[in-house]
Amino acid sequence: MSTDLRDELRQTRPFTSLEQEAFLAIQRTAARLGHAMAETIRPLGLTATQYNVLRILRGAGEPGLCRNEVRDRMLTQVPDVTRLLDRMEEMGVIERSREGVDRRFVTTRITEEGLRLLAELDQPVEECQRRLLAHLGEDGLRSLITLLAEARELT
């Protein structure tokens, strides 16, 4: 077993299994990558979750999405999507409206301000991702993507 993660975590005992080491390595890596992303978007006053919602809504285009569609597309689960969207609407980066015959259906769309923030972040985020992962090379990245997809299949 590799000792890199054990050294990083200052763990003196061996992992109980290769699966445990892999699981902890994934968690540690996700935390480190997430922190780097958070630092990249923080100057514009967004959290990683808010940034994710804005990217989802930009991708949805003019039709927008309902709350549950936004929730289902998010990278991480949040306990209360409605409150998240409330805060983002107060920030002026999204707008919601009741449309159609079913007034319970609320459509969420990104605003011009939300689009402006994303446009300002596109290059710094891309540079951050390159800085953190480009050294793996194309083949390494494709292998990583495949292995992570296989791990997600059982969840």
Q: What pLDDT, in 10s, does the model give residues 91-121?
A: 999 999 987 776 678 999 999 999 999 999 9
Q: Pick the most confident of 1-5, 79-83, 138-142.
A: 138-142
Q: Check residue 105 and give its pLDDT.
A: 82
Q: From residue 52, give the alpha-carbon distance in Å to each of 5, 46, 61, 72, 110.
A: 29, 10, 15, 12, 12
Q: What is the mean pLDDT of residues 34-52?
A: 96
Domains of the chain: which residue ranges?
A: 4-152
Contact predicate 28/9, CB 8 Å: yes
1: pLDDT confidence band, cut at 50, 70 and 90?
Answer: very low
Instruction: Give percent of the chain above pLDDT 90.
Output: 85
pLDDT at 103: 65
Burial zone of 88 (CB within 10 Å; 0-12 exposed, 13-18 middle, 19+ buried): buried
Predicted local confidence at residue 3, as pLDDT = 47
Quick one: average pLDDT of 19-40? 95
Secondary structure (3-state) at 36: helix
Rg (C-alpha) for the chain, rounded Å, is 19
Phi, psi (5° rounding) for residue 103?
-70, -10
CA angle 55, 148, 140 (to 5 degrees): 95
CATH architecture of 4-152: Orthogonal Bundle (1.10)
Q: How much is the pLDDT for 111? A: 98
Residue 10 pLDDT exceeds 80:
yes
Q: Would the pLDDT of 30 be above 80?
A: yes
Q: Please state, in angstroms and rounded to a whole number, the distance separating the CA atoms of residues 55 and 74.
A: 10
